[in-house]
Amino acid sequence: MKPAALAFVAFVFLFRLATLAISIRHERALRKDGAIEYGVLNSKILTVAYTSYLIAAAIEGVIRNAPFDILSGIGFVLYAISVIALLAVIHLLGRFWTVKLLIAPDHSLVLHPFFRLIRHPNYFLNAIPELVGIALVLHAYDTLVIGLPPVLLLFANRIRQEERAMKATFAAY
CATH level 2 (architecture), domain 3-169: Up-down Bundle (1.20)
Can you tell me the distance from the alpha carbon of 100 to that of 96, in angstroms, rounded to the nearest whole number? Answer: 10
- Domain parsing of the chain, residue ranges: 3-169
Q: Which residues contact 47 (CB under 8 A, 6 or more apart)?
A: 99
Using a cut of 0.85, tell me whether the model's pTM lies above it: yes
pLDDT in tens, 91-120: 999 999 999 999 999 998 888 999 889 989
Q: HSE on the CB side for 136, CA within 13 Å?
A: 18
| Span 72-88, pLDDT tens digits | 999 999 999 999 999 99
DSSP 38-67: E-HHHHHHHHHHHHHHHHHHHHHHHHHT--
